């Protein structure tokens, strides 16, 4: 992948009219993606956006790159085949909570464990938007919606805990309403070698408006969120006076103004899988008193061989040890006889 100079975000805009609902969080994500691609300077022709089905999956039509809009849940599997065949390409998968975690759940976990070098943007709006408002596998229990007029009885997924369990090598969370953070995380994701998974809290202002307001709106954001920074203590709060300390394996909230020192706080370490696992469990219902704030940023990174590289390496080894295959020798096989 060569890089070129001076490609601009507008160069990634297509001639297609963007058809998301006015006010949808997807617009912000599209803008940041176009900006990040311009910044990393990868050629448009070397980039492929792959999506499944859902509101977010219209994304490829709006990116002036190669693109595949596919079928429900299968973007991850399609991208796996594409990356295996063409390791040289820069591949982005755009998916949603229904697409990735419900109908495509199987492919999603297998993508993570194989660690193809691709980027996954998981738009989580905790609802089915395109089909007009049924609950999704991330919808909070008890939520009233079209297919659950008495409230959902499904226990929701904790997406990032699932990703840790599936062996993901880059696990991060951001939100549509914090473009600066989103941009920073997308940049980091694009630079990670391996599958980069970014869960993006995205507001569906039509069917699930305000699902993430505690984390995204000014009044509550400071108290309800942690913005992770590698090698830094975990501090939050409107005047950054709150922190998280590990009591054994149990995270506890401490007040730095009440005699606790910043030196005793949990120092975020992106390379520590145990700590990252605990962080993904910061998933409390915000209505519960004493709940933990929700972390954003990069939870975990790991350097691990990518599937497509190992696949290529086996081919190289096979050619080294057996020589490049010869078709005539293959067809002939080992035991032949002649009829004269």
Q: Which residues bind other proteins (CB under 8 A)?
A: 14, 16, 43-50, 53, 60-61, 63-71, 74, 77-86, 88-89, 106-107, 110, 311, 314-315, 317-319, 321-325, 327-328, 330-333, 335-340
Shortest spacing between CB 134 and other proteins, in angstroms: 20
CA distance 70 to 68: 6
Taking the least distance from each CB to other proteins, the nearer of 60 and 194 is 60
Shortest spacing between CB 116 and other proteins, in angstroms: 11
Taking the least distance from each CB to other proteins, the nearer of 69 and 183 is 69
Structure tokens given for 318: 């096979």
Length of the chain in residues, anyone?
A: 340
End-to-end CA distance of the chain: 56
**Residue 82 phi, psi (nearest 5):** -65, -45
Q: Are 226 and 293 in contact (CB under 8 A)?
A: yes
Shortest spacing between CB 7 and other proteins, in angstroms: 12
Shortest spacing between CB 10 and other proteins, in angstroms: 15
Shortest spacing between CB 14 and other proteins, in angstroms: 8
Shortest spacing between CB 34 and other proteins, in angstroms: 14
CA 245 vs CA 152, 164, 288, 291, 337: distances in Å: 34, 22, 20, 14, 77
> Interhelix angle for 179-191 vs 26-40, to 10°?
50
Taking the least distance from each CB to other proteins, the nearer of 44 and 181 is 44
CA 13 vs CA 30, 104, 123: distances in Å: 9, 28, 20
**Residue 232 phi, psi (nearest 5):** -115, 150
Secondary structure class of 148 (helix, strand, coil): strand
Shortest spacing between CB 88 and other proteins, in angstroms: 7
CA distance 111 to 232: 30
CA distance 154 to 107: 21
Taking the least distance from each CB to other proteins, the nearer of 250 and 334 is 334
Taking the least distance from each CB to other proteins, the nearer of 106 and 230 is 106
Taking the least distance from each CB to other proteins, the nearer of 259 and 333 is 333
CA distance 39 to 191: 12
Taking the least distance from each CB to other proteins, the nearer of 107 and 294 is 107
């Amino acid at each position: 992948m060569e890089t070129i100079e001076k490609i601009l975000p507008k160069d990634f805009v297509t001639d297609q009219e963007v058809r998301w609902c006015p006010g949808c969080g997807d617009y912000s994500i599209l803008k940041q993606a176009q900006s990040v691609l311009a910044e990393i300077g990868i050629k448009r022709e070397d980039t492929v956006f792959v999506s499944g089905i859902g509101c977010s999956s219209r994304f490829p039509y709006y990116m002036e790159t190669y693109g595949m809009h596919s079928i429900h849940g299968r973007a991850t599997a399609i991208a796996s085949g594409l990356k295996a065949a063409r390791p040289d390409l820069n591949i982005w998968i755009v998916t949603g909570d229904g697409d990735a975690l419900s109908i495509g759940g199987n492919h999603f976990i297998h993508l993570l464990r194989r660690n193809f070098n691709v980027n996954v943007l998981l738009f989580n709006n905790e609802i089915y938007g395109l089909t007009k408002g049924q609950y999704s596998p991330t919808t909070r229990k008890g939520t009233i919606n079209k297919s659950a007029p008495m409230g959902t009885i499904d226990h929701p997924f904790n997406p990032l805990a699932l990703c840790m369990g599936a062996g993901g090598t880059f696990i991060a969370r951001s939100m549509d309403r914090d473009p600066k953070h989103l941009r920073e995380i997308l940049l980091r994701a694009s630079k990670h070698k391996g599958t980069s998974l970014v869960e993006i809290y995205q507001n569906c202002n039509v069917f699930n408006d305000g699902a993430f307001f505690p984390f995204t709106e000014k009044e509550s954001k400071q108290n309800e969120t942690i913005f992770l920074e590698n090698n830094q203590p975990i501090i939050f709060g409107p005047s950054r006076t709150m922190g998280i300390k590990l009591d054994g394996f149990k995270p506890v909230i401490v007040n730095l103004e009440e005699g606790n020192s910043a030196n005793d706080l949990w120092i975020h370490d992106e390379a520590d899988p145990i700590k990252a696992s605990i962080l993904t469990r910061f998933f409390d219902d915000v209505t519960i008193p004493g709940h933990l704030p929700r972390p954003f940023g990069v939870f975990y990174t790991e350097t691990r061989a990518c599937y497509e590289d190992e696949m290529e390496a086996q081919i190289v080894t096979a050619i080294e040890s057996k020589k490049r295959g010869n078709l005539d020798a293959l067809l002939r096989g080992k035991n032949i006889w002649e009829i004269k």
